[in-house]
Amino acid sequence: AQVIALLAELQRELGLALVFVAHDLAVVRQVSDRVAVMRRGRIVEYGPADEVYESPRDPYTK
C-alpha cells in the first residue's frame, strides 16, 4: 500500500505518466485514470478506470 501511495504522489506532483501492471482491478482503479485490459497480448477493453471497473463490457474483464 505504501508503494502505491508513493507512486500516486509522484504522479500528482511531477505529472508523470505511469504504466502500472496488476491483476487486481480495485488496485488499478486507485492509481489509474485510464485502464487497458489485456488478454493474450491484446487489449480487450480500454477506457476510464471507474467506467471499466463499474461497467465492464468485455466478458474477460467481468
CA atoms within 13 A on the CB side of 30: 14
Instruction: List, run by run, the mean pLDDT of 10-residue segments along the chain (62 residues).
Output: 87 89 87 92 96 94 89
Domain boundaries, the chain: 18-62
The grid coordinates of residue 25 equal 482491478
pLDDT for 28: 86
pLDDT for 17: 87
Over residues 21-33, the pLDDT tens digits come to 998 888 888 888 8
pLDDT for 1: 77
